[in-house]
Structure 1
Amino acid sequence: MKLVATFFGVGLLRPAPGTWGSLAALPVAYAILAFGGFWLLVNLTVFVFMSGWIATKEVTRGKEDHDPSYIVIDEVVGQWIALFPVGYGALMMGVSIDALWPGWIAAFVLFRVFDITKPWLVGRADARNDALGVMMDDVFAGFFAAIGVIALAAFAHLVLM
């Protein structure tokens, strides 16, 4: 279970294990999108969410700290959600995921900002102090980042071009 919770040991990297988890999620998402496309990423995100929830529950069972920094599977899920607009955009436009490189950067930066600052629903989920809260704060951060990616893409396409 610890192997899942740490995303194969990435969560043990220092400093800033959450950032390492988000960074590690990027090449994996790239491979998923390149191999199977947007819908595979969506399905694997759901699967990893469920696996991460179970692993987090097991790893933190009986411990005071409900969200130790080495658990980064939640960052992987949130980062993948933040990348949904990139994958979907490439699918809809029939372009390579490489062509949407600004979206990759925006998804990473926005996700980290929302995950670190924990505004509104992100903070409320984190305050649950349980395994579901650990996972859900990053789900919300990922969704907010995805909305930001969409807004930035709209701005770039409608205003800048």
Structure 2
Amino acid sequence: MNKELFKEIYLSFFFLGRAPIAPGTFGTLGGVVLAFLITNYIGNNAEYALLILIPIMYYFGLILAPWAEKKYGGDPGIYVLDEVIGYLIIIASLSLLQFSMENHIWILSFILFRVFDVVKLWPARNLEKLHGGHGILLDDIAAGFQTLLAILLLDNFNLI
């Protein structure tokens, strides 16, 4: 397999970033599938596997970001690894907090993450303006933490 193809497979998360509409949504669905597989097949302590995987994915995403920007332009839509990482942060954190991961939590976390990712509340919008890979990646990480906070608040007030 040539290096260019491997880079695209990785950054587009198995070509989900090539979706003709809403590539970020498709990328997030890839994160849902990955998190679901890890939590169901590793079982106990899956959150630690996710916590190991997240910085590794970030590191390689950061290294490959200049290539993606050169090939596809600034913050390219095909680059959905950031959505995957953002979603994994939510699931890893909820698992660490021993949150009951029922189906409605998976769905709610997906919906809220997409809303926060699109709306880009502070500090996500500022982070997106950073140059290079950090700008591509950190806004989605912020959206992941915003989603986590929203879920915890909703749970605290018995709304979910």
The reply to whether TM is greater than 0.5 is yes
**Paired residue secondary structure (1:77):** helix
Q: Partners in 1 of 2:91 and 2:154 — Cα distance?
A: 13
- CA deviations over 1:68-106 (Å, ceiling 9, x no partner): 1111000100111122343234xx37x6x4xx2222112
How do 1:144-159 and structure 2 match up within 5 A?
144-156=146-158
- CA deviations over 1:41-92 (Å, ceiling 9, x no partner): 111112111121112222223x682211111000100111122343234xx3
2:15 counterpart (9, 12, 15): 9
Q: Partners in 1 of 2:37 and 2:66 — Cα distance?
A: 28
List structure 1 runs of 4+ shifted beyond 3 angstroms. Answer: none
Q: Partners in 2 of 1:101 and 1:155 — Cα distance?
A: 19
TM-score of the superposition, structure 2-length normalised? Answer: 0.85
The answer (yes or no) to whether the contact 1:53–1:131 under 8 Å persists in 2 is yes
2:132 is aligned to: 130
Task: State the superposition RMSD in angstroms.
Answer: 2.0
- CA deviations over 1:5-45 (Å, ceiling 9, x no partner): 11111100121000000011101101111223111111111
1:46 is aligned to: 55
How has the CA–CA distance of structure 1 residues 64 and 34 changed in structure 2, closer, same or farther, with 3 Å as cutoff?
closer
User: What one-letter code is carried by the residue in structure 2 that aligns with 1:24?
Assistant: G
User: What one-letter code is carried by the residue in structure 1 that aligns with 2:78?
Assistant: Y
Unaligned runs of 5+ in 1: none
TM-score of the superposition, structure 1-length normalised? Answer: 0.84
User: What one-letter code is carried by the residue in structure 2 that aligns with 1:4?
Assistant: Y
Q: Percent identity?
A: 28
2:30 is aligned to: 24
- Number of residue pairs matched? 151
Q: Mean Cα displacement is larger for which, 50-59 or 67-76?
A: 50-59
